[in-house]
Amino acid sequence: MKNICILGSTGSIGTQALEIVENNPDKLTVVGLSADKNVDLMAAQIRKFRPAHVAMADAAAARALKILVADVPVRIYAGMEGLEELATLAETDMLLSAIVGMVGIRPIVAAIEAKTDIALANKESLVCAGHIIMALAQKNGVNIIPVDSEHSAIFQALRGERTTDVERIILTASGGPFRGMDREALNDVRAADALKHPNWSMGPKITIDSATMINKGLEVIEAHHLFGLPPEKIRVVVHPQSIVHSMVEYVDGAHIAQLGLPDMKLPIQYALFYPDRRALPGEKLDFTKALSLKFEPPDLDSFKGLALAYEALATGHSMPCVYNAANERAVGAFLAGKIGFLQIYEQIAEAMHKHQLIKNPTLDDILHINI
């Protein structure tokens, strides 16, 4: 039996992870859950999965939750301190970090220091603090198993191979809802349009990041830290069917890819049970049916977020954190109707241009980046 703790249990990744728990009651037990403000869903999850510990990032939500589940034996924490306490539970075998944004950094660091293995769905933590987190994981003998479908695919394609034999890794991108549109057309899109992803069901922030292709930029930076490869060995290709989740090209010209239907349960379950595989209910890819796979280069002129990511990675030090922080702020403004779609890129570029680079930033430096 593996004891798991889920940070971000009311979000898309968290709810799907709990479905996997429900389908594997003999293998997985939930010891801790966390959320931001979704009190009603958290109360339902507490009653269903009976975790002994729960944290709410919002203090008012924690107080409301205590009233709702007063009849249930559960300890409820609040704020960042509560998230860190939840992340360091002695009984946890694996922490699934599915929190969106930089708020996930401190709990991940705390869990690694407690020598708990990480199933990582919080890409922003590696984008901003990858040099700290990966070194800390190695020092403490902690496994970091990626949950993003692309990085999970690379992780699987590298299994049993030597990284010295890797020519490059190739991250696939769906192209999002605006694939093929030029800058003039993108100037008129609205948040409601950007939230209509053609293949994946995700939270609003990640869906917007997919529409801008900044999500892919974040994944390039994350891949650099996860797999220890320089930027020139990390390539992005648009693959609108989202069947090939990513691939590795080796020095002899061989390409090893991981394929499957666009379903996040596969990489989530793979991480939770690593190094084992378990049967996963649901539709499977059928190669006896007509199947067409298309690949094309990304449009870096219209979707400038990807080019900015490579620039941030090449600069290094504190710049990737500025890239991420500026994007978080700009996406929030776009979702609120305060700025247009293309202004997301403009705000990121402006923040990067104005930033005074911090070399070899500490965790405190990263958490107090001023944009």
pLDDT in tens, the chain (371 residues): 999 999 999 999 999 999 999 999 999 999 999 999 999 999 999 999 999 999 999 999 999 999 999 999 999 999 999 999 999 999 999 999 999 888 899 999 999 999 999 999 998 899 999 999 999 999 999 999 999 999 999 999 999 999 899 999 999 999 888 888 889 888 888 888 777 766 656 678 888 998 999 999 999 999 999 999 999 999 999 999 999 999 999 999 999 999 999 999 999 999 999 999 999 998 999 998 878 899 999 999 999 999 999 999 999 999 999 999 999 999 999 999 999 999 999 999 999 999 999 999 999 999 888 66
Last residue of a domain, one of 94, 121, 146: 146
Q: What is the DSSP letter of 256?
A: E
In angstroms and rounded to an integer, the radius of gyration of the C-alpha atoms of the chain is: 20
CATH code (residue 248): 1.10.1740.10
- Give this prediction's pTM: 0.92
Listed in sequence order, the residues at least 6 apart from 211 whose beta carbon sits closer than 8 Å to its beta carbon are 176, 177, 178, 189, 194, 195, 197, 341
DSSP string, 83-133: HHHHHT-TT-SEEEE---SGGGHHHHHHHHHTT-EEEE--HHHHHHHHHHH
Do 121 and 186 share a domain, yes or no?
no
Do 202 and 109 share a domain, yes or no?
no
Number of domains in the chain: 2
Do 80 and 177 share a domain, yes or no?
no
CATH code (residue 90): 3.40.50.720
SS3 15: helix
Do 35 and 19 share a domain, yes or no?
yes
Listed in sequence order, the residues at least 6 apart from 268 whose beta carbon sits closer than 8 Å to its beta carbon are 13, 16, 17, 20, 96, 119, 121, 147
Q: How many helices (DSSP H) and strands (DSSP E) are in the chain?
A: 16, 11
Do 207 and 226 share a domain, yes or no?
yes
| Domain around 289 | 151-367
φ, ψ at 16 (rounded to 5°)? -70, -35
Question: What angle, 0 to 180 degrees and rounded to 10, lies between the N-to-C axes of helices 39-49 and 12-23?
Answer: 10
Dihedral sign computed on CA atoms, order 183, 185, 190, 196? negative
Q: Contact, 34 vs 8, CB < 8 A?
A: yes
CB atoms within 10 A of CB 371: 19
pLDDT, residue 370, reads: 67
Listed in sequence order, the residues at least 6 apart from 37 whose beta carbon sits closer than 8 Å to its beta carbon are 56, 57, 58, 60, 61
Last residue of a domain, one of 99, 130, 146: 146
SS3 146: strand
Do 196 and 93 share a domain, yes or no?
no
Strand 53-56 to 166-173 pairing: unpaired
Do 241 and 138 share a domain, yes or no?
no
Do 355 and 296 share a domain, yes or no?
yes
Separation of alpha carbons 57 and 53, rounded Å = 13
φ, ψ at 47 (rounded to 5°)? -70, -30
Do 118 and 196 share a domain, yes or no?
no
pLDDT, residue 237, reads: 97
